Structure 1
Amino acid sequence: MTTGLPLLRLPYLVLMPVLEQMEFKERISLSILSKRARMFVKLLKMECEHINLKLEHDRIEMKLFFDNCRGFEIRTVKVFMYIDKYQRHNYHYDMSFSCCPGRLPPMDYVLPIMDVTHCKSIKQLTIAEVPQWDTLPLLAKLPKIDEVIVSSGWRFYTLSYEDSLEKEKQLLVILRTVLPVSSAVNFSHRFQNPNHLQEILKWNLDSLVLKQHPYKRFKTFSLNDLLVTNANALELHDVTLNVKDLNRFFKLWMKKMCNP
């Protein structure tokens, strides 16, 4: 019968060389076990270039990009955090955690991993699908987010109109939560309720991008939509825009009769 090695009980001068020989994935796995483990792993200076987060129906996907790998061939690490008790397996997954009795909820691993990799911001937060669990406590704690992407992976064409509206309401709550730390939003989703789009257009954003949904095109972007838009930069991709309305908008803009 063998006993486990009490790793964290090793003297500091012995422990640190052992941690330095670990792979990136092993270090990250060790760091989430306890605050004391994270304290030692953090001393290894695993500086992450940037991090991308992706919210889906039953999981959070976290992708870490490393610039200085210090001899390691690995450049990226993917961490998948599932909300159910069943561990998912895929040969392309670098790391995965699932919700088990007595363990932290998977979303609670995001901030410790950011801390141990010395990453202060999120480059991209992708909402691939409105999660089925409450992500607001996590999103409220996230630091600066460079860009929020609402992807075209939503399967609204399989939902009823009422269910689609409910999903959109949940999406707006998520966006309101992250808006204070992000000012760039990229959409490839057609809103069922035009009032939901109007609300987003009124937000004070640095950048707003609207793209064609693969299954449904945006409705005509009207003069009123242009007039209420507060984003400093607005990009419309494959969105129907009436030329007459566009000319009227430019005339009002030149006369300083609309938002400059």
Structure 2
Amino acid sequence: MTTPFPLLRLPRIALIPVFQQMESIDVIAFSLISKKAQNVSKIFCKFSSRNVHLTVKSDHLYICVSFEMWRQMGLKYYFNTENIPNLVNAMTQKRTFTHKNSGLTASQWVERVLDVTNCESIGQLDLKGSPQVDVCDTFATIQNIRKLYIFKECPNIFAKKSLEILSSVSSEITLFKIPFDCREEFQTFLKNNLNYLNIFTNTFQTFKFNLEDLMVTNALK
């Protein structure tokens, strides 16, 4: 039987070489253990994320953090444990999290990763599915998103809720579908103070998108 090592009880001077030997992925995984582990990780590892790409799917979240051009790190959080693929690779296992092995909800997990990597903004957010509702709680805390993409497979209800929360903090929004049920809903969205709006859609809608809709938009581009 192995006796657990009381890492957090070590004096700070002893913790410095420990964290110096840890990979970035290991530091982030360690920070998910508890609030104390999170604070210790931030003290001894001063991350400075260059770009963060967050993807939301129906069964998992995926975060890719870039520190430099050549150094990236991807982590996944699965909502439903039965959907997790067979993890035979040890490196893949270290990058995959659930509520069971982290003790965190999806929203808490995202907030913890963004906090420990000192992420002040999201470079790109892709919505490709409808996850747990609590992810919207995290969306409300995001201050800046450079690019927001709404894909065809994203359910309308989740897409509308996300746009309601994120439109004001997104520099560029791209729609591969129009998730609104009627022209009035769509025009209400277009009246928001949008910076840059791209619409790429030829799918069936309950109403026809035309130039009259563009006349009411407040988008700069």
Q: TM-score, normalised by structure 2?
A: 0.85
Letter in 1 for 2:200: K
CA positional deviation for 1:24: 1.2
**Residue 119 (1) aligns with residue 119 (2):** yes
Counterpart mapping for 1:51-200 below 5 A: 51-67=52-68, 75-86=71-82, 88-89=84-85, 93=92, 95-100=95-100, 103-152=103-152, 154=153, 167-191=155-179, 193-195=181-183, 196-200=185-189
Shift of the 151–51 alpha-carbon distance from structure 1 to 2, 3 Å rule, reads: same
Quote the Cα distance in structure 2 between the aligned partners of 1:75 and 1:198: 42
Structure 2 runs not aligned, ≥5 long: none
Quote the Cα distance in structure 1 between the aligned partners of 2:33 and 2:83: 18
Shift of the 124–101 alpha-carbon distance from structure 1 to 2, 3 Å rule, reads: closer
Quote the Cα distance in structure 2 between the aligned partners of 1:102 and 1:205: 37
* Greater relative contact order (CA < 8 Å, ≥ 6 in sequence): 2
Quote the Cα distance in structure 2 between the aligned partners of 1:14 and 1:192: 57
Contact 1:150 1:188 in 2 (8 A): yes
1:229 corresponds in structure 2 to 217
Secondary structure class of the residue paired with 2:99? coil
2:35 corresponds in structure 1 to 35
Letter in 1 for 2:156: E
CA positional deviation for 1:118: 1.4
**Residue 2 (1) aligns with residue 9 (2):** no
Contact 2:79 2:132 in 1 (8 A): no
**Residue 25 (1) aligns with residue 25 (2):** yes
Contact 2:157 2:179 in 1 (8 A): no
Could you say what the CA RMSD is over the residues aligned between the two structures, in angstroms?
2.6
Shift of the 190–172 alpha-carbon distance from structure 1 to 2, 3 Å rule, reads: closer
Contact 2:149 2:173 in 1 (8 A): yes
Give the total of aligned pairs.
214
1:202 corresponds in structure 2 to 191
Quote the Cα distance in structure 2 between the aligned partners of 1:102 and 1:150: 29
Task: Give aligned-pair identity as a percent.
Answer: 29
CA positional deviation for 1:101: 8.8
Shift of the 59–67 alpha-carbon distance from structure 1 to 2, 3 Å rule, reads: same
Contact 1:61 1:81 in 2 (8 A): yes
Contact 1:52 1:123 in 2 (8 A): yes
Contact 2:60 2:76 in 1 (8 A): yes
Quote the Cα distance in structure 2 between the aligned partners of 1:18 and 1:83: 32
1:164 corresponds in structure 2 to none
Contact 1:127 1:150 in 2 (8 A): yes
CA positional deviation for 1:194: 4.1
Shift of the 16–189 alpha-carbon distance from structure 1 to 2, 3 Å rule, reads: same
Quote the Cα distance in structure 1 between the aligned partners of 2:11 and 2:56: 40
CA positional deviation for 1:114: 1.4
1:252 corresponds in structure 2 to none
Shift of the 142–171 alpha-carbon distance from structure 1 to 2, 3 Å rule, reads: same
User: Which range is displaced more, 25-34 or 1-10?
Assistant: 1-10
